[in-house]
Amino acid sequence: MTWRSTGVAAATIADGALREVVLDGRSVALARSGTEVFAVDGVCPHLGGALAEGTLSGRRLTCPLHEATFDVTNGAVVTDPFGLVPPEGGVEPVRSYPTREQDGMVEVDLPDAVPP
């Protein structure tokens, strides 16, 4: 894993806000819940919705296309687009990544070879 700068100042992400960044060619959604910033894959595995265009309520990120919800702390599916709670439903979780603040900037720890 390698820490990568997002180019985003932590102070510019308000509580409940989402922001998309592209790191190593991969869309990553940054989400602030309270004092913490989380990072998950930026594309919904259901139909490819841009998760940074969704909504964040606490730690629940809702896809803007079909309302699948994910836990930003670990990428787990909370409910699928039909309201089914795992293990029912067919939506895959999104990958989550560790974050840290370095000199006021958000960094994300990505694997060295991230699959597309």
- CATH classification at residue 60: 2.102.10.10
Does residue 112 lie in a domain region?
no
54: pLDDT confidence band, cut at 50, 70 and 90? very high
Q: What does the pLDDT average to over 6-12?
A: 96
Domain housing 14:
2-107
The answer to the question of residue 113 being in a domain is: no
Task: Classify residue 116: in a domain, yes or no.
Answer: no
Q: Quick one: 4 exposed, middle or buried, by C-beta within 10 A (0-12, 13-18, 19+)?
A: middle
The dihedral sign for the CA sequence 116, 106, 49, 57: positive
Beta bridge partners of residue 33, listed in sequence order? 36
- pTM beyond 0.85: yes
Per the structure, how many domains does the chain have? 1
User: Is 115's pLDDT higher than 60?
Assistant: no
- The torsion of the CA quartet 108, 54, 70, 33, rounded to 10 degrees, works out to 60
Is 53 part of a structural domain of the chain?
yes
Q: Is residue 26 domain-resident? A: yes
Tens of pLDDT, residue by residue over 21-43, are 999 899 999 999 999 999 999 99
> Are the beta carbons of 92 and 76 closer than 8 angstroms?
no
Lowest-confidence region among 1-15, 62-76, 102-116: 102-116
In a domain, 115, yes or no: no
